[in-house]
């Protein structure tokens, strides 16, 4: 609990004696006294009752999180062309976002989650394809069904997905602890299909390489062009988004033929993947040659540049899990509106508007 005087101060401010507060929440006066002196610690359920009896938000009674210790407890795995772009200040800011998310979960008794671990050394394409089938099943998606909103799917399993402004060359990274669960950070400025790929890529690291999160990565051998861990994560991301059966069905009439851009664009719209991801997966599955893939990639690069492409996909429009949980906590008066604005990183008036819309939709 916070300083032992905190509960006493709020009780006296409400004009209640220890006896009166005890009766209001069905405990003895001696229990209230023990809580105020720090001899005993109230449960979260009791804190919620106390807050309602005193007319305050429960987060005012919760202990402050030791941010520095919590940061040290989180293993971070970065995926960026220039990892140094993630400054210590930015890293601390994003870690605090994860801790705020976890605090809301605890208030609502939500259990943090981690995906099943499948340790992988090196790169095994056959194993990756097998794991992709298992992940789609875990997400509740059949082998021929588009994933839809990847963020929603991952968060429906209890994983935390946080979009945030990051340096352009940082796609995202992930973190976890047993108590915090898995957290995936994604660059909010990147196109939708790239954000979804990043989220699945980081999911792959959480599945394959969790044993590496708490120790520095060994430097790459000069004979390797790409870290095999990154190859495995990229492959799993693509195989989850575009399963073998999906792409074979979509391209059954185009085996070893040039894939027209309108066809690629149609697949992109329906499966929320990039044009280049379709080409890459088609080559992986042997539907086109690697030479053809390289030629078509070069044509796209010439037309759009190395990072852009058309069509542009819309951003997900559904509320995030963090928004929904925060609004639940607000309605239950477990947190204040100002605390909700802090957790959601938005102005107070935005929180009030979104809360009103959420309540109206929920009631309808």
- Quote the DSSP letter at residue 17: -
Query: Which two three-digit tokens encode residue 163?
Result: 């979009």
Least confident of 26-40, 42-56, 280-294, 318-332: 42-56
**pTM of the prediction?**
0.79
Summarize pLDDT for 169-178 with one digit per residue, the tens: 888 888 888 7
Summarize pLDDT for 107-119 with one digit per residue, the tens: 999 988 899 999 9
Query: Which two three-digit tokens encode residue 96?
Result: 């605090």
Q: For the chain, what are the domain ranges?
A: 5-60, 70-238, 242-313, 321-363
Query: Which two three-digit tokens encode residue 93?
Result: 């800011």
The CA-based angle 333-344-185, given to 5 degrees, is 135
- State the pLDDT at residue 84: 65
Quote the CA–CA distance of 230 and 290 in Å, as a whole number: 19
Question: What confidence category does residue 233 fall into, taking pLDDT thresholds of 50, 70 and 90?
Answer: very high
Instruction: Work out the average pLDDT over 198-222.
Output: 77
Second CATH level (architecture) for the domain 5-60: Orthogonal Bundle (1.10)
Which of 180, 174, 177, 43 has its CA nearest to residue 111?
A: 180
Query: Which two three-digit tokens encode residue 289?
Result: 């040659």
Summarize pLDDT for 248-272 with one digit per residue, the tens: 999 999 999 999 999 999 999 999 9
Question: What's the mean pLDDT when you consider all of the chain?
Answer: 86
- State the pLDDT at residue 217: 52
DSSP three-state, residue 327: helix
Least confident of 100-114, 121-135, 163-177: 163-177
Instruction: Work out the average pLDDT over 183-197.
Output: 95
List strand residue ranges (DSSP E) for 181-324, in order. Answer: 181-187
Peptide bond into 311 cis (omega under 30): yes
Summarize pLDDT for 50-95 with one digit per residue, the tens: 888 888 777 677 665 444 444 444 444 544 445 566 677 777 788 8
Is the pLDDT higher at 286 or at 113? Answer: 286
- State the pLDDT at residue 112: 85
Which of 109, 106, 70, 76 has its CA nearest to residue 91?
A: 76
- State the pLDDT at residue 96: 84
Instruction: Work out the average pLDDT over 17-35.
Output: 90
Residue 209 φ/ψ, nearest 5 degrees: -125, 25
Angle between helices 125-138 and 192-208 (to 10 degrees): 110
Element (H, E) at 79: strand 75-80
- Using the predicted structure, report yes or no on whether residue 222 has a pLDDT greater than 70: no
Q: What percent of the chain has pLDDT over 90?
A: 53
- State the pLDDT at residue 70: 42
Question: What confidence category does residue 363 fall into, taking pLDDT thresholds of 50, 70 and 90?
Answer: low
Quote the CA–CA distance of 360 and 364 in Å, as a whole number: 6
Quote the CA–CA distance of 325 and 109 in Å, as a whole number: 11
Instruction: Work out the average pLDDT over 335-360.
Output: 90
**Strand 160-164 vs strand 181-187: parallel, antiparallel, or unpaired?**
parallel
Quote the CA–CA distance of 346 and 352 in Å, as a whole number: 10
């Amino acid at each position: 609990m916070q300083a032992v005087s905190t509960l006493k101060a709020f009780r006296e401010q409400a004009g209640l004696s220890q006896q009166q507060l005890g009766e209001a929440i069905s405990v003895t006066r001696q229990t209230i006294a023990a809580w105020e002196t720090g001899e005993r610690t109230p449960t979260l359920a009791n804190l919620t009752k106390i807050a309602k009896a005193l007319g305050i938000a429960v987060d005012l009674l919760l202990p402050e999180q030791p941010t520095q210790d919590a940061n040290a407890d989180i293993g971070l795995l970065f995926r960026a062309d220039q990892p140094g772009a993630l400054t210590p200040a930015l890293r601390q800011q994003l870690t605090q976002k994860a801790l705020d998310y976890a605090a809301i979960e605890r208030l609502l008794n939500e259990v943090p989650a981690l995906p099943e671990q499948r340790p992988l050394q090196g790169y095994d394409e056959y194993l990756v394809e097998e794991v992709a089938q298992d992940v789609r099943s875990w997400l509740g998606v059949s082998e021929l069904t588009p994933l839809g909103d990847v963020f929603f799917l991952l968060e429906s399993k209890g994983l935390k997905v946080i979009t945030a402004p990051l340096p352009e060359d940082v796609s995202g990274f992930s973190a976890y602890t047993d108590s915090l669960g898995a957290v995936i950070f994604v660059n909010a400025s990147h196109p939708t299909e790239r954000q979804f790929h990043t989220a699945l890529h980081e999911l792959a690291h959480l599945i394959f390489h969790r044993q590496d999160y708490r120790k520095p990565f060994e430097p790459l051998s000069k004979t390797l062009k790409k870290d095999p861990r990154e190859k495995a994560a990229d492959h799993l991301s693509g195989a989850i988004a575009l399963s073998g059966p999906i792409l074979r069905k979509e391209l059954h009439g185009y085996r070893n033929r040039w894939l027209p851009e309108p066809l690629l664009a149609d697949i992109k719209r329906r499966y929320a993947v990039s044009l280049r991801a379709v080409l890459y997966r088609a080559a992986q599955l042997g539907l086109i040659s690697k030479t053809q893939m390289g030629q078509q990639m070069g044509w796209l690069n010439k037309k759009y540049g190395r990072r852009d492409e058309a069509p542009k996909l819309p951003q997900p429009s559904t509320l995030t899990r963090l928004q929904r949980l925060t609004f639940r906590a607000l309605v239950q008066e477990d947190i204040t509106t100002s605390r909700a604005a802090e957790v959601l990183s938005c102005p107070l008036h935005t929180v009030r508007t979104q809360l009103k819309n959420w309540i109206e939709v929920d009631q309808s």
